[in-house]
Amino acid sequence: MVDKALGGAGLRGQVAGETALCTVGKSGSGLTYCGYDISELADKAQFEEVSFLLSRGELPTESELTEYKAKLKSLRGLPDALKTVLENIPKDAHPMDVMRTGCSMLGNLEMEQDFSQANDAIDRMVAVFPSIICYWYRFSHDGVRIETETDDDSVGAHFLRLLHDEAPSALFEQVMNVSLILYAEHEFNASTFTARVCASTLSDIHSCVTGAIGSLRGPLHGGANEAAMDMIEGFTSADQAEDALMGMLERKDKIMGFGHAIYRESDPRNVIIKKWSEKLAAEVGDDVLYPVSVRCEEVMWREKKLFCNADFFHASAYHFMGIPTKLFTPIFVMSRVTGWTAHVKEQRANNRIIRPSADYTGPEARSYTLISER
């Protein structure tokens, strides 16, 4: 039964299915993965434990984690045909389009033949997505063909090494770890719903993920971290940021990195990434971007009761780690692939094709006029 008050545009407030993977805005700090609170996971877990949890349903034991990480390490290499495709994508392409093409090409080369192969396909995507984006980025921007098979212990360190050609500091590796955990899963958000709709037709897992990447690309969803960065780096001080923001609000501009479709008062991921952004600011000696970000947060709450979502302080955090803005949303992909694919498996396990109805608002029935008489 649809709640009329909440229903309508954007399917807001309507239940579109069941999930055992995640709660958003219900218990604990407001976000849980398979019952585990996000703040505890971000504080204590490795991203690979979370990835294992989402694909296997339980946290790994120590030996399972060791084996799982060894498997991910062994899957970081790129097939030659995929390298060729990546080398042909222009430098000015959008990195999310590179991810979309990379995932789709992987599906051509390593097709999921039947659903029993899902976990192998998922592990491969988790392991190889950082290689895909960095191989393209370094080839198109620096003119080098990088070796993507590294010995780094974590997905986050692997990504940073490929990007910067050196092992990351312990702090940077930890921030990447936290970031990947925070972005891993979020119930029926737009990109996950895309993946589930695709899965409901019994399509293959690479098609589901390719579609989801397309949905995540938009600035109202994952693309907001890049859009937030574009905005804050234009501000020269906290006071100037406040003036500019007041003007934007006056003009009714949408402020990227603020607001949420489900959370009403805060996004539990914000307090976590904000803390790490502050640590990074101190580490790199920033005295502009972090204070500017904090002022934006204060102004938005004071003026509009709008709060930072997961994306806002990710912008400064990634920037402090020397990550180019256009790679921000691909990092989201590297993480959310775990949530998307868990939903694909959940959809498959209890499937009915997703096919809602529409209220018709077009013309009344009318008869066809021959083209010669129009």
Ligand X SMILES: O=C([O-])CC(=O)C(=O)O
Which residues lie near ligand ACO (CB under 6 A)? Answer: 220-222, 224, 254-261, 306, 309-311
Q: Which of 198, 217, 200, 193 is nearest to 208 (CA)?
A: 198
Q: Which residues are registered as beta bridge partners of 22?
A: 33
SS3 302: helix
Residues 6+ apart with CB under 8 A from 291: 237, 238
Q: Which of 186, 260, 314, 319 is catalytic?
A: 260
- Which residue, 11 or 354, has its beta carbon nearer to ligand ACO? 11
Contact 192, 339 (CB under 8 A): yes
Does position 184 bind ligand X by CB under 6 A?
A: no
Does position 189 bind ligand X by CB under 6 A?
A: yes
Residues 6+ apart with CB under 8 A from 191: 212, 213, 215, 216, 221, 222, 336, 340
Does position 308 bind ligand X by CB under 6 A?
A: no
Q: CA torsion sign, 45 to 125 to 121 to 353? A: positive
Task: Supply the minimum distance, in Å, between the C-beta of residue 172 and ligand X.
Answer: 22
CA distance linking residue 73 with residue 298, whole number of Å: 42
Q: Which of 18, 58, 34 is nearest to 349 (CA)?
A: 18
- Burial (CB count <10 Å: 0-12, 13-18, 19+), residue 13: middle
- Which residue, 148 or 225, has its beta carbon nearer to ligand ACO? 225
- Can you tell me which of 83, 161, 186, 343 binds ligand X, judged by CB under 6 A? 186
Task: Determine what percent of the chain falls in helix, strand and coil, rounding each to the nearest 5.
Answer: 60, 5, 40
260 is an active site residue: yes
Q: Which of 123, 158, 311, 314 is catalytic?
A: 311
Q: Which two tokens stand for residue 69?
A: 């990480």
286 is an active site residue: no
- Can you tell me which of 171, 248, 261, 288 binds ligand X, judged by CB under 6 A? 261
Residue type, 102: G
What length does the chain have? 374
Does position 194 bind ligand X by CB under 6 A?
A: no
Does position 271 bind ligand X by CB under 6 A?
A: no
311 is an active site residue: yes
The interface partner of residue 295, options being ligand X, ligand ACO, none and the CB cut-off 5 to 8 Å by kind, is none
The interface partner of residue 256, options being ligand ACO, ligand X, none and the CB cut-off 5 to 8 Å by kind, is ligand ACO
Task: Supply the minimum distance, in Å, between the C-beta of residue 221 and ligand ACO.
Answer: 4
- Which residue, 38 or 134, has its beta carbon nearer to ligand X? 38
Q: Which two tokens stand for residue 197?
A: 């709709």
- Which residue, 185 or 286, has its beta carbon nearer to ligand X? 185
Task: Supply the minimum distance, in Å, between the C-beta of residue 267 and ligand ACO.
Answer: 7
- Can you tell me which of 103, 231, 310, 317 binds ligand X, judged by CB under 6 A? 310
Q: Which residues are registered as beta bridge partners of 33?
A: 22, 36
The interface partner of residue 306, options being ligand ACO, ligand X, none and the CB cut-off 5 to 8 Å by kind, is ligand ACO
CA distance linking residue 86 with residue 78, whole number of Å: 10
By beta carbon distance, the residue nearest ligand ACO is 259
Q: Which of 308, 329, 326, 103 is nearest to 216 (CA)?
A: 329
Task: Supply the minimum distance, in Å, between the C-beta of residue 242 and ligand ACO.
Answer: 15
| Residues designated catalytic | 221, 260, 311
**For binding to ligand X (CB under 6 A), which residues are involved?**
186, 189, 261-262, 309-310
